[in-house]
Structure 1
């Protein structure tokens, strides 16, 4: 217990001669340096609050305003039109007594200058907010940019000329608007038209009209009232009712995963990979805390995206409750939680206010790997509690983990910066069956052994025995683009900035006096062990039912697609419609997630990718109609998809509005047959695109092997598919397909083959078109990428 003695700053004993006080100067020095780090962070936060509080102006602009006012006063001019004199009359009596008339005049001028400066800041912020509320630029054709948009771009660039902090734009982002109820109903009916027969569509139209005339407008008024009061009328209800109130397992059903590089493993040394990965994540957290990360923007533009989801990235845990879970976030944490061979450890990553070097973290991880101690009774599978149903976990947590040693150990996990699993398996595309190994790699990251991940943590890192790594993320606190940004930074920093020695170890020096990682202790009674077994059985059945298939599509990528003046996302989505039609013999309601982060605290909206136009194209192609006709229908379907995507991004979506109307109806205690039916419709094809956001960290052209595999999620419907894809470079698209073995109508490998064939067939069709209509060209700016959303509406 050497580390316990080092943690004691002073000791005293009572002797016949009196009290013998012994000070540990080393421990006191550690306390002092740790306090210095804490105060530096506080000062940094205060400085950042001032800088982002006055954005788009700067703190130094206050001095400019003051000097300008004093100069004009010196020139016998009154820029305040008498306000300075009035301020002087209302100065405290003590200032009138202690200051001369000239001093009082200067103080009054300073007060007026400050008020004027604050007014100018509010005016600039209002102007920026109005500018960011303009979205017509997204709907303009390439090469046909209006004069209004050109002026708008100039003004946005002018007001955004100062280098912003991560959260500088937050107060300038517009609020998400509530669409007109008639517009939403019309768009909904249009989206389901290809899926319904004429009698079914007539019935649904009657339900929609009845809803609008009877209950809809009443619910709409409440929703507009909320939109006036709340920052975002969707996000809080979405987080609570779609995620936190779910009582079923979050493993597979909600959590999603991210993978390592496809071809490259920077080092085969497990402890070294863990050292660099943990360091890279903590460097990202440092940048996040200091707000040194650049605000995310619409790709290719200066338009900022909301950064609110970054706030709970680290030191966050989803805590189970009886009826609803709670997201708990702590301001800081100087340790990570580590799981290996059924044991839990607390690994301190700071010492005396200093972040340990990658080599020191590797050294500490190796100590954990070499630790021969066995798990305590009931410890090895304890993590299964986070993989099972939420209510039993809540009851067990409250009864057995709310005090004593169990609470202290659980706190060490929940308050940790993040969770790390040192897995004894080897994963990746390797060996004689690389395709099958990729599928097993995906399943391992999605659910593991159902007890060797802590699924409640905001994210968990998995480091495999052969040096491969990956990530499992909890969904309620943020969507995949936020986690993807973190993961891209981590992989690039690990491989290209931190690096390894020739023998595969981390760089840096080792302080061998570091205390051993702290083993967490538990007292697990038989009642808890029984619930662990029950949760594990449920989770294992869920995990065994997941059919994952991961495959790189190498025949062509966005480079060839864009040469044909087609949106890559639209190309893939129409390909998915064709693949699904061939696989299931019909069409299905299709979910594609679009971000709404153009608005403050925006999260996602649904792009209903199965449209009248896409269905017409698929039927024409499968019906053997003329190629020219099929190409024309494909262009129409592509344009329609892009328009649906833009509408979803700009607040004119369908599903979030209907979801919030449904929540209001439940609060009012009224039932709507229309809303109930709409929100119970299954998403048998749930799709998403993982964005590539940080290519500036390394050059993919010069490092072509460092291709990201992206990530995926479990199937949303029991009889459906979950499809995630990432467009990497110019010539590759990586797909992640999931379904359930228990459904006889689905097969992930079969559907993957259908996707490949559909993409080939569409490319052959459109490549034969020698003339590309100008009307089919893309938007003025590249589209932002959507993110995974692996949850049902109900």
Structure 2
């Protein structure tokens, strides 16, 4: 086989005259360059480890301290208060150094100790400063003198040029709320959703828990919070994600679309070449820690960056009881799926990253390959789309050795997975509604066998050049993928660009070896499991109803004129839309982040409150005045913002109750209160996709370059999943999902109610939707 000959560095034959050794210079050159690349990465990691290890100081500051101390010593000034003399006397016992040498060594040792002490002091001071969150609860636009002083102190102790992971050791730990506070906030959150009798029963259960079992569970949780970096995150990852035995597709994985109205090229291979190159440039930035840590409050307060570590070279490995996350430090290839075949594509040649034009060439070679799928190969990825247990057993029985193991390793250890989809997707002006819905559904589940749902990210390029991402959820949350995706879209359009005929810039390179087909030997028994998994996945995918639509009647700019938070405005519109749709209120989940704390992930904002219900009922009552509705809107909006801030600052409800429940299971004690709380369905699950790098897109000059964000499947069988992205000043994109099998829900009906709710609320402020600032 051709690839077998390319895989060895030399060949030899036995002749009567001895061994005839013929070296392959090209292969040895590639081995040498690969080694240099590996050592370069090790050196960069070592250097970054030192820089991050001494943050917020810098390595050069050590020399400054040494010079300062030594200069003081020679000027007969002792800054050490006798410590240098003590070190000198200790060195006297060695009898192996001159007097002058001992003075220098003593000074350097003291200087180093002083430098380390200063670093520890600065780091601890920064951690104490970052533990203050009062700035979040201040009135918008009004900053007290104390907050300004605090901000100045944070900036002083934050160093000059922080790297991606510089702040990690300075971030505070997530605090454990008091049981009484959590119980009180929980009861307040469910009051508008329960009848009087049900609420009294739940209050009795909660109070009994707070007095009897709660303090015992809380003690264990406090102990964990002192010992572990974050008392929630590891249990959240394990029990919410990895121990789930249901399908990842639709239920857990989410998707990201690209720009709604712009497709820079319709050549599939070219779009893939540019975007893959941009993804790899971003990966290099992550490896070198060159991405600036995200900071709030005018680039002052840092967020945790831990989730970036597993963005690439990561896969979720199925197990019968629980899955595991496999992450390798480096990967020099990707795996590309097209028309039922799997190809391994190397990302480097002659010690350098492939250019966009070279990657386009490799993608075109895959597209032009005439070979047919091997038996069982075409629909193999359906195993990753259905229940986890059959996939785990199949993996153990049929993929543990031989060519199947080698090929599966290639997939799971790839930098990321790529699908060259043979369908056309994206916005079509002649049928905008159906085209965007189809685009969203394709990214969420595709054909159920053409995405590798276990990979951290599956990058998808459609036949007409449109692209998107399907992301696995356990390793990190959506803002991390969103940050990558913003960079890729901007780099693709504004930096790399295309030639006039739509190809990547640059020249192809015929000397690069062709992509190699992965080889599989899938027995019939395994093929039967694949078909069963595909049938199950198809039932799930066909049941998903998605309505993806742009909302451009008004946006953030006009909402700000109402002197309210855009997020609070939209959440109240969602409450109004749900009541219009269902005629009742429901438990509502809004995702908030807790990355102000080390290894923080998410917390729940319970957006359905007594205040929001009062506002919605006033909107539905034609006898209520505009002034009364506005007053209730303001109260509900402020309540929502307060709950959001509590969630961000570690005073949420649901993660605390979740961890108390985990402790109760470990102790084998039964809690009727916790069991009932954690079984309550979230019939309205919502999430905002944040824009984190607005500087990459100039929407004033290029208003058509608006992103459509991403979405997820419904959480409850009879509920809605709603995701939205606020882009620029005048554009919001919504994604509404539900299940066709539910007679109560209809994504398009809910979408129409949402549009009307947005219009109804803005009308209260008597603002024209066409007004400009």
TM-score of the aligned structures, taking structure 2 as reference length: 0.98
Distance 2:736 2:86 in 1: 71
Alpha-carbon distance, 1:752 to partner: 0.1
Distance 1:670 1:269 in 2: 60
Distance 1:469 1:142 in 2: 38
Distance 1:68 1:328 in 2: 48
Higher mean Cα deviation, 228-237 or 140-149? 140-149
Q: Deviations over 1:95-122 (max 9, x none)?
A: x32x211101111111111011000000
Partners of 1:2 and 1:515 within 8 A in 2:
no
Q: Deviations over 1:3-58 (max 9, x none)?
A: 54343222222211111111111111111111111111111111101111111111
The alignment status of 1:590 with 2:585, answered yes or no, reads no
Higher mean Cα deviation, 446-455 or 149-158? 149-158
Distance 1:485 1:185 in 2: 36
Distance 1:752 1:400 in 2: 45
Higher mean Cα deviation, 487-496 or 508-517? 508-517
Partners of 1:135 and 1:650 within 8 A in 2:
yes
Name the SS for the 1:767 alignment partner. coil
Which of 376, 379, 402 is equivalent to 2:377?
379
Give the RMSD, CA atoms, in angstroms. Answer: 1.2
Which of 545, 549, 552 is equivalent to 1:551?
549
Distance 2:386 2:33 in 1: 42
Alpha-carbon distance, 1:200 to partner: 1.1
Distance 2:118 2:408 in 1: 50
Name the SS for the 1:471 alignment partner. strand
Partners of 1:31 and 1:352 within 8 A in 2:
no
Name the SS for the 2:298 alignment partner. coil
Partners of 2:336 and 2:343 within 8 A in 1:
yes
Partner of 2:632: 633
Distance 2:299 2:164 in 1: 16
Distance 2:579 2:208 in 1: 33
TM-score of the aligned structures, taking structure 1 as reference length: 0.95
Distance 1:92 1:651 in 2: 54
Partner of 1:37: 37
Alpha-carbon distance, 1:431 to partner: 5.5
Within 5 Å, give how 1:288-687 maps onto structure 2. Answer: 288-298=286-296, 300-430=298-428, 432-624=430-622, 625-687=624-686
Alpha-carbon distance, 1:78 to partner: 1.8
Name the SS for the 1:607 alignment partner. strand
Distance 1:637 1:646 in 2: 14
Partners of 2:685 and 2:714 within 8 A in 1:
yes
Within 5 Å, give how 1:203-218 maps onto structure 2. Answer: 203-218=201-216
Q: Deviations over 1:285-338 (max 9, x none)?
A: 000000000001226341110000000000000000010000000000010010
Distance 2:297 2:249 in 1: 32
Which of 155, 158, 162 is equivalent to 2:156?
158
Partner of 1:62: 62
Partner of 1:50: 50
Name the SS for the 1:145 alignment partner. coil
Distance 1:163 1:550 in 2: 40
CA distance change for structure 1 residues 590 and 433 in 2, over 3 Å: closer, same or farther?
same
Partners of 1:388 and 1:535 within 8 A in 2:
yes
Name the SS for the 2:301 alignment partner. coil
Distance 1:59 1:167 in 2: 16
Partner of 2:199: 201
Partners of 1:384 and 1:536 within 8 A in 2:
yes
Unaligned runs of 5+ in 1: 770-794
Unaligned runs of 5+ in 2: 769-773
Partner of 2:80: 80
Higher mean Cα deviation, 105-114 or 316-325? 105-114
Partner of 2:8: 8
Name the SS for the 1:241 alignment partner. helix
Distance 2:494 2:541 in 1: 35
Higher mean Cα deviation, 589-598 or 20-29? 20-29
Distance 1:604 1:78 in 2: 51
Name the SS for the 2:584 alignment partner. coil
Name the SS for the 2:707 alignment partner. coil
Partners of 1:34 and 1:351 within 8 A in 2:
no
Partners of 2:55 and 2:159 within 8 A in 1:
no
Distance 1:33 1:91 in 2: 47
Partners of 2:57 and 2:159 within 8 A in 1:
no
Partners of 2:283 and 2:312 within 8 A in 1:
yes
Name the SS for the 1:593 alignment partner. strand
Q: Deviations over 1:155-182 (max 9, x none)?
A: 1122224110000000000000000110
Partner of 2:771: none
